[in-house]
Amino acid sequence: MEIQIGRGKTARRAYGIDEIALVPGTRTLDPSLADTRWRIGGIEREIPIIASAMDGVVDVRMAVLLSQLGAMGVLNLEGIQTRYADPEPILDRIASVGKDEFVPLMQELYAQPIEPDLIERRIQEIKSQGGIAAVSATPAGATKYGSIVAKAGADLFFVQATVVSTAHLSPESVTPLDLAEFCRQMPIPVILGNCVTYEVALSLMKVGAAGILVGIGPGAACTSRGVLGVGIPQATAVADCAAARDDYYRETGNYIPVIADGGLITGGDICKCIACGADGVMIGSPFARAKEAPGRGFHWGMATPSPVLPRGTRIRVGTTGTVEQILRGPAGLDDGTHNLLGALKTSMGTLGAKDIKEMQQVEVAIAPSLLTEGKLYQKAQQLGMGK
Amino acid sequence: MEIQIGRGKTARRAYGIDEIALVPGTRTLDPSLADTRWRIGGIEREIPIIASAMDGVVDVRMAVLLSQLGAMGVLNLEGIQTRYADPEPILDRIASVGKDEFVPLMQELYAQPIEPDLIERRIQEIKSQGGIAAVSATPAGATKYGSIVAKAGADLFFVQATVVSTAHLSPESVTPLDLAEFCRQMPIPVILGNCVTYEVALSLMKVGAAGILVGIGPGAACTSRGVLGVGIPQATAVADCAAARDDYYRETGNYIPVIADGGLITGGDICKCIACGADGVMIGSPFARAKEAPGRGFHWGMATPSPVLPRGTRIRVGTTGTVEQILRGPAGLDDGTHNLLGALKTSMGTLGAKDIKEMQQVEVAIAPSLLTEGKLYQKAQQLGMGK
Amino acid sequence: MEIQIGRGKTARRAYGIDEIALVPGTRTLDPSLADTRWRIGGIEREIPIIASAMDGVVDVRMAVLLSQLGAMGVLNLEGIQTRYADPEPILDRIASVGKDEFVPLMQELYAQPIEPDLIERRIQEIKSQGGIAAVSATPAGATKYGSIVAKAGADLFFVQATVVSTAHLSPESVTPLDLAEFCRQMPIPVILGNCVTYEVALSLMKVGAAGILVGIGPGAACTSRGVLGVGIPQATAVADCAAARDDYYRETGNYIPVIADGGLITGGDICKCIACGADGVMIGSPFARAKEAPGRGFHWGMATPSPVLPRGTRIRVGTTGTVEQILRGPAGLDDGTHNLLGALKTSMGTLGAKDIKEMQQVEVAIAPSLLTEGKLYQKAQQLGMGK
Amino acid sequence: MEIQIGRGKTARRAYGIDEIALVPGTRTLDPSLADTRWRIGGIEREIPIIASAMDGVVDVRMAVLLSQLGAMGVLNLEGIQTRYADPEPILDRIASVGKDEFVPLMQELYAQPIEPDLIERRIQEIKSQGGIAAVSATPAGATKYGSIVAKAGADLFFVQATVVSTAHLSPESVTPLDLAEFCRQMPIPVILGNCVTYEVALSLMKVGAAGILVGIGPGAACTSRGVLGVGIPQATAVADCAAARDDYYRETGNYIPVIADGGLITGGDICKCIACGADGVMIGSPFARAKEAPGRGFHWGMATPSPVLPRGTRIRVGTTGTVEQILRGPAGLDDGTHNLLGALKTSMGTLGAKDIKEMQQVEVAIAPSLLTEGKLYQKAQQLGMGK
């Protein structure tokens, strides 16, 4: 298993979802028989897909819509939704600047402080329209706004950092968030992340996480790997953390769902993550392409506005259909980004998996879809490159 | 053999035809001595190449032409040929719409119901011109139109789904196609597919298949891997299914040919599939480039018109020569897409293989033709990219 | 060593020169001390580089120039030089047609028969100007023109086919070339190729080859791999054939040089082939870029004019300097295509290799220079792609 | 460990930094607690980053600025700074010529001899402004100018060649630099490089190096691998040389820092080199993009001006910010090329590494970021390729 990189340094080979493919078994299933339901924090959903807590992906309207469609969206409590009473002109500005002005603009917009009142207001707006109020904050934000979130009646609280651990060293002047204490005190389920290893996944479950987010570095709008060198390919990360979930369940009887987060674009990506052991997925860019998405055809990372070390770039993803089309079809595109539920059901049918639990057990092959010489020509033609 | 992706998830490495190359042995052969004949469903053909059952590839005229040239074409019974008495204006429309209008147009065109009379008419048109009437339908279509096909005098019936199995679960309201029963009742040979594993290949042979189609996910116009995550590289799939054929033959004395289907573009691709164990190949895009092809320079997948989950994209392949040039030469192009028979004979000569059986035994090397830095420059120049 | 592709099909991993790099040892050397001399067929040359027998690379003038510069060029006796008394207007036409007219033009030009008188005349033109008259023909051409070549006073005869073997099956009507007999009867040394395996290399030495050419499929202007599926990456092919040379030498005391042929573009490529065991290299495209090259900035394969199955494409390589600059410098380019001798001497110095024999022993690492995401951006900028 | 390339030739797999990723452990750290200090030649610096001795990267002003910011820059004593009293118009010319005129211009500019007076003057200019005077020369230059450098009061002397060894063979007419003797006689610390193997790294430490530079072939502006075939991917080279450092320290008690040099562009690259065992890094292109850089938005290699074998190409890197932004932020770009110190501290925090020594021990995974089919589309869009 351990490969020697050089004298005194060994490493393990980790696999990404682009390197695997799902292998049909001896049974097939009518897609209508595929049961995609899952539960997180006591809430059952038909579709195991969560929209990422990103400013270009989820606002109040998207959170409500996604809930109605059988999925869920998470509202970022430290983004523009809680810094500006009216975020619309702000979002217009973000969509209108050029590539070079983007980072400075984001840094300027995030200099505006978060207004606790707006946190409450956003949660209530979602609840009043019948949506599931799933919200997110960084560990620092969780310390500050945890009680407001609880009081405002949120359903789920995602505490998310690039990398989270149960053993965080802080300067003496700062009191770090005690995750165990925080989970105990919060009256609502707390989902923790992100992590990529068995050990950290297990430790997050032990401190009381109602779900864990898995994924560091793989996202389309995430540049952690380039900036920090940190990351682990998703197939390996998900399989490792799913093993932690299964071991934890065996010991305690508590089943803590594992959510693959980052780098997932197509229905096939989602299917592969579940086949590696995920219970659900969190996706950003596919929803950023919805007509109703706040990003106006753009998608950007959560670490972008960092005043000192911005990470996460802005990508023009375009607008390709309604959120309903993207989630439940009918698909108007043939590239795997529309009707994600249909893709999951069809894949489960093809693979003979009756439910998510069976889908987690399907056979996987290592089959890298690398760019070969022959494919470059083909792709170049499709992309309209060359003459 | 099993590689660990993560804790609790192992996978096998599967190989694609882009990752292998054929290794000359100690003998060479004059290409004129290479015998390429094969048999399927009691029909002998000089050329082990079948044109795919795709609307842009095979119509009545192509089926007849291919038969005359020593090969064979399969007519899709659930495409436009059986929905429209005169498919020509329909094909004109498909070729004329823009990229974004394509999927909606296909969905609209396929809303038109299949006319059983046209099934009969197409088969008779092929037969009356001396062609081999090989036709295809999905399992659902086979249930509905099987008896018409038999009565109309077809020679071979291809029952094809993205993935087929002998154990298919359906909703109670639906009676699924019993493949064993169907093969028994049909008075003509039934070819089944697609499959990618030893187990399923063997089970299809056991229920009475006269041939099996191997390949899921690898096609140029196929997006199954992106949409569903499902697929297995062709070299491994073909070798596994060929092993099933050999084992089945050893046990029963019945030799059921294995047809590699999907992702094959050049003569080299065809040679490599046979070297991995295939008896014949089914190809789409190379024939879509024929002057006589119904696609008018375009090629698209069979799952494209799905009203809920379209898969398979439309590719502009262009028109490069007559179907005779593509199949038997003389080649007017040097990229391996013309004179496929000549390429196969020359490859067999180079490798010292006297017939298909010997070609299945030639030595193979793993030799990925990946895109390296150096090659990008070269390729970019050839493609006319850059300045 | 053997990897399973699928049930019943195993393969060996073969490596290309793009996948390896040379590792410095504990000694370095002033490049002026590197001795690059080698011998083939009794002729000693300072530079172990031979220009390929291609119409765009070697004519009488190039053969003479290369001889004077310490290297050697091989004249193709079945190309335009022996079909046309004045090849200049022919070469002008080849350089002036568009991409689509190229293959038909080549087929037309090669319909003109070979004139035996011109074979004699070209050899004498080279000899009279003091050049080494190294010429090449296919096995069929060798049968026909062998005696003329010998009589005309050629120095070396290269008998070259895509793949050559000592056991070639022909139709009864054709008497195949008996390589052993041919080598025995020819009064001049015969170099045979191409081959890629230990067994065939050994058999060619046993029939009397004075040198063997190694390489199938890897050339820039060669499309054998696409058309035929046949090929083997150069690092492995060269190492295997070099082992045959060493074993043959141990047994017989005859040292038969191994010449790596195909796919070599830069000085680094040449160095890597020698490090894998080659005694010399044969290169085409680097010399096609010479001001004096007959190709006028174009380069094309020898199988291109095949009337039935053309292989080998035309590439615009441009003109970058004189043949002296390319071979001995000074370099006016920094990409490894100028001053190939200087590059070889500098590499030998860097690696501490005093002569070709020591260079064959230097340490090699597997270090694929694959195109990564990061590099695409860099390369795209260099290529002027994108905006 | 040894892989067979072919009969009689084995090789070891070497890994590049693009093939690895850093894996978070069970602890995280506030970035403010990450201690990045290191020492080289008795000098302590806050930031383990050295600017390369390249004409487009370091002049007197950059050396002073980098010193003030906690890092260091090395002045090339054999470049234009010591050939021209006023290098500004020379740098203007280099930035203004076209791609094809670049190599000849460099060859012309370097024909101008080095003026020993200017060596002294540049060192004094740096010292008088409070900068660290780190300078570099080739072994030949070190022989000639060593005493001047010492007398002029330089702080550190980098003796750098593409590949350096302690056993160098020279023609009899030339007295090669005896590295042991040179290190003994120089009154200031001597850093030696470049090397890539355990054995050479150890031998350089034994002759008295105060630091060693690791890296052959991987740089952006370096074409050694193409021209010479020589090179070794950085992750393996750094790990091997770091093992030599550790063994040497164990035996002698002397800790000789290992500096990764070449091919590093982003903060992530720097973090990965340290995680493989480096104490510091030397980078060129990231600083060539500074407003204050002498290259005016261009970057080129040190071997470019070679009159006979130029290596190292000129790349337009553009100007993206001040050297302070690049080194200490705040970042105005989100691609990992600004605020390199912040990236290192954040990465160390993410990985729970309190100091460079702990950072050298973090877990590494093999996780190639290869270009897949899917990513090409994404990247092509970002690059503005296609339509």
> Is the pTM for the entire model greater than 0.90?
yes
Does residue B374 sit at the D interface (CB-CB below 8 Å)?
Answer: yes
Indicate the average pLDDT of chain D: 90
Backbone angles phi, psi at B145, to 5 degrees: -110, 5
The Cα A218–Cα A211 span in angstroms is 20
**Percentage of chain B modeled with pLDDT above 90:** 72
pLDDT category, A386, cuts 50, 70, 90?
very low
pLDDT category, C384, cuts 50, 70, 90?
very low
Whether residue A387 has pLDDT greater than 50:
no
Once rounded to an integer, what is the mean pLDDT over residues D49-58?
96
Does residue B330 sit at the C interface (CB-CB below 8 Å)?
Answer: yes
The Cα B143–Cα A275 span in angstroms is 32
**Which range scores top for mean pLDDT: B17-26, B347-356, C227-236?**
B347-356
More confidently predicted of D39 and C99: D39
Whether residue C70 has pLDDT greater than 70:
yes
pLDDT at A259: 98
**Which range scores top for mean pLDDT: C176-190, C235-249, C320-334, C367-381?**
C235-249
Q: Residue D191 has what DSSP assignment?
A: E
Inspect the interface and report whether the beta carbons of C8 and B347 lie closer than 8 Å: no
- Give the pLDDT confidence of C31-48 residue by residue, as tens digits: 999 999 999 999 999 999
- Taking the CB of residue A111, how many other CB atoms lie within 10 A of it? 10
Once rounded to an integer, what is the mean pLDDT over residues C160-180?
86
Q: How far is C2 from chain A (nearest CA, A)?
A: 18
Whether a cis peptide bond, with omega within 30° of 0, leads into A339 is no
Whether residue A333 has pLDDT greater than 80:
no
Whether a cis peptide bond, with omega within 30° of 0, leads into A89 is no
- Give the pLDDT confidence of C312-371 residue by residue, as tens digits: 678 888 999 999 999 998 887 777 888 999 999 999 999 999 999 999 999 999 987 655
pLDDT category, A127, cuts 50, 70, 90?
very high
Of C158, C236, C223, the residue nearest C196 (C-alpha): C236
- Give the pLDDT confidence of D356-366 residue by residue, as tens digits: 999 999 999 99
Q: How far is C232 from chain D (nearest CA, A)?
A: 11
Which of A268, A330, A333 lies nearest to residue B308, judging by beta carbons?
A330
The Cα C170–Cα A113 span in angstroms is 85
Whether residue B287 has pLDDT greater than 70:
yes
Q: Is A180 helix (H, G, I), strand (E, B) or coil?
A: helix
The Cα C229–Cα B367 span in angstroms is 11
Inspect the interface and report whether the beta carbons of A33 and B165 lie closer than 8 Å: no
Contact B168, A30 (CB under 8 A): yes
Contact B23, B364 (CB under 8 A): yes
Does residue A111 sit at the B interface (CB-CB below 8 Å)?
Answer: no
The Cα C85–Cα C121 span in angstroms is 9
**Percentage of chain B modeled with pLDDT above 70:** 91
pLDDT at A370: 56
Q: How far is C121 from chain B (nearest CA, A)?
A: 32
3-state secondary structure chain C: CEEEEECCEEEEECCCHHHEEEECCCEEECHHHCECCEEECCEEECCCEEECCCCCCCCHHHHHHHHHCCCEEEEECCCHHHCCCCCHHHHHHHHHCCHHHHHHHHHHHCCCCCCHHHHHHHHHHHHHCCCCCEEEECHHHHHHHHHHHHHCCCCEEEEECCCCCCEEECCCCCCCCCHHHHHHHCCCCEEEEEECCHHHHHHHHHCCCCEEEECECCCCCCCHHHHHCECECHHHHHHHHHHHHHHHHHHHCCCCCEEEECCCCCHHHHHHHHHCCCCEEEECHHHHCECCCCCCCEEECCCCCCCCCCCCCEEECCCCECHHHHHHCCCCCCCCCCCHHHHHHHHHHHHCCCEHHHHCCCEEEECCCECEHHHHHHHHHHHCCCC
* Residues sharing a CB contact under 8 Å with residue D200, sequence separation 6 or more, in sequence order: C24, C25, C26, D164, D165, D166
Model ipTM value: 0.91
Inspect the interface and report whether the beta carbons of A335 and B312 lie closer than 8 Å: no
The answer to whether residue A316 is catalytic is yes
Retrieve residue C243's tokens: 């082992």
Contact B258, B39 (CB under 8 A): no
Does residue A52 sit at the B interface (CB-CB below 8 Å)?
Answer: no
Q: Which residues pair with residue C316 across a beta bridge? A: C298
Q: How far is C126 from chain D (nearest CA, A)?
A: 30
Contact C151, C135 (CB under 8 A): no
**Percentage of chain C modeled with pLDDT above 90:** 71
CB contacts, 8 Å: C385 with chain A: 385
Alpha carbon separation from C143 to C52, C98, C303 (Å, rounded):
21, 35, 19
Q: Where are the alpha helices (DSSP H) in chain A?
A: 60-68, 88-96, 99-109, 116-128, 139-151, 179-185, 198-206, 224-228, 234-252, 267-275, 285-288, 323-328, 340-351, 356-359, 373-383
More confidently predicted of C202 and A106: C202
Does residue A169 sit at the D interface (CB-CB below 8 Å)?
Answer: yes
Q: Which residue of C has its CA nearest to A376?
A: C371
- Give the pLDDT confidence of B18-63 residue by residue, as tens digits: 889 999 999 999 999 999 999 999 999 999 999 999 999 999 999 9
pLDDT category, B385, cuts 50, 70, 90?
very low
pLDDT category, C386, cuts 50, 70, 90?
very low
- Give the pLDDT confidence of A52-92 residue by residue, as tens digits: 999 999 999 999 999 999 999 999 999 999 999 999 999 99
- Which residues of chain C from 172 to 201 reach within 8 Å of chain B, CB to CB? 174, 176, 195-197, 199-200
Retrieve residue D25's tokens: 């452990």
pLDDT at A254: 98
Alpha carbon separation from C113 to B60, B101, C109, C278, C310 (Å, rounded):
43, 54, 9, 36, 18
Residues, chain B: 387
Span of A191-195, B297-301, C55-59, C259-263 with lowest mean pLDDT: B297-301
Of B84, B155, B170, B99, the residue nearest B124 (C-alpha): B155
Q: Is D137 helix (H, G, I), strand (E, B) or coil?
A: strand
Q: How far is CA D338 from the centre of its chain?
A: 17
Inspect the interface and report whether the beta carbons of C347 and D223 lie closer than 8 Å: no
Whether residue B157 has pLDDT greater than 90:
yes
The Cα A39–Cα C211 span in angstroms is 72
pLDDT at A312: 63
Inspect the interface and report whether the beta carbons of C6 and B373 lie closer than 8 Å: no
